[in-house]
Amino acid sequence: MTGSPSPAPAKDGKIAIMTMVYNESTNLPIWMRHYRRVAPSANLFVIDHSSDDGSTDFLFGVAKIPLPRGELDEGDRTFFINSLQQGFLRYYDIVIYTDCDELLVPDPAKSIALDSYLRDQPYSYASPIGINVLHIADREPAIDFTQPLLRQRQYGQFQSSMCKPLVTRIALTWEPGFHSCDRRPNIDEDLYLFHIKQIDKDEALRRHHVVQLLPWSGAAIAAKHGAHHRYDDERFLREFFLDPANQLRQEGAREFTFEAEIAQLRQETRQRAEIFDFPDFKGPIVEIPGVFRTTF
């Protein structure tokens, strides 16, 4: 993005960052641009689930792993990503998985370089603080994807399910959706995961229509995996755009602090067999500080 500072070269330590996509013509260029800039020493991997819109034809500097397409099954997808993560850890020191609309950002007061920041951390795995970037459509215009995104969006919202344990030095077993795993949550309070699914109403609805048409396996439907991808348009717009706008109108925006939410997450996490389930809740609307405005 223009106007963004370039991180300093990172110290030694191999990092793999991967995502999985299908026809992500908008989000994939953002994902690649972001991680190339904030983690220039990392190797980037795009698992392409048979995109046919040309979005994965020319991934310069990014390794593409093609997969054949069938019914969408979150169990199969998670098994594959878990296996890839565990295999990459034989060759890389840190492995990160994010969806294509998820951007990891360290607190800019700590570091502008994700790769060097993570190498300096003592933990074996961590979850960031998960923030949905909001489009308040009655206050903010449609986004210009050629310009820095956070200069155009003012508000966000904590969501516990976005505090995903996505950064690891050890083998984890992620659950479908990658919201939980076989380890207790370890929140890095200086690391943020900005989820940009809701960053623009029109683009979000266009993308929703792409995903609505995908065939899901019977097992995925029975387990309610990815249920929000199958919402009708009315429910999708209400939950992702109208409800946050009404909440902001009624309550206003709070300061960008999340101590109470993190305490609740830690307190209410429950163990199910070998998996630790995060409680599912959202926080108040917050105003994204200006210090983040050039991060992507």
DSSP 86-103: HHHTTT-SEEEE--TTEE
Distances (CA, A) of 197 to 24, 164, 165, 228: 12, 15, 19, 12
**pTM assigned to the model:** 0.94
Q: What is the CA radius of gyration of the chain?
A: 18
Q: Does 216 or 190 have the greater pLDDT score?
A: 190
Backbone phi and psi for residue 181, each to the nearest 5 degrees, phi listed first: -155, -170
What pLDDT, on a 0 to 100 scale, did the predictor assign at position 10? 47
> For 241-261, what is the mean pLDDT?
97
> For 263-276, what is the mean pLDDT?
92
What pLDDT, on a 0 to 100 scale, did the predictor assign at position 7? 52
Asked whether residue 1 carries a pLDDT value surpassing 60, the answer given is no
C-alpha closest to that of 192 among 259, 102, 254: 102
* b/e sequence 9-43, b meaning 16+ C-beta within 10 Å: ebeebebbbbbbbbbbebbbebbbebbebbbbbbb
Distances (CA, A) of 67 to 48, 82, 201: 6, 15, 30
Asked whether residue 113 carries a pLDDT value surpassing 90, the answer given is yes
Q: What is the 3-state secondary structure (H, E, C) of 235-258?
A: HHHHHHHHHHHHHHHHHCCECCCC
CA 260/CA 230 separation, integer angstroms:
32
Task: Report yes or no: 165 and 180 within 8 Å, Cβ to Cβ.
Answer: yes
Asked whether residue 4 carries a pLDDT value surpassing 60, the answer given is no
Backbone phi and psi for residue 264, each to the nearest 5 degrees, phi listed first: -65, -45
C-alpha closest to that of 200 among 152, 168, 233, 246: 152
CA 221/CA 216 separation, integer angstroms:
7
Asked whether residue 12 carries a pLDDT value surpassing 70, the answer given is no
The chain-wide mean pLDDT, for the chain, equals 94
- The H or E element that residue 181 is part of is none
Tokens 């048979």 -> residue: 50
Q: How much of the chain exceeds pLDDT 90, in percent? A: 85
Q: What's the pLDDT tens digit per position in 161-213?
A: 999 999 999 999 999 999 999 999 899 999 999 999 999 999 999 999 999 88
Task: Give the pLDDT band of residue 3 (cuts 50, 70, 90).
Answer: very low
CA dihedral 96, 221, 275, 163 (to 10 degrees): 40
What pLDDT, on a 0 to 100 scale, did the predictor assign at position 278? 86
Asked whether residue 34 carries a pLDDT value surpassing 60, the answer given is yes
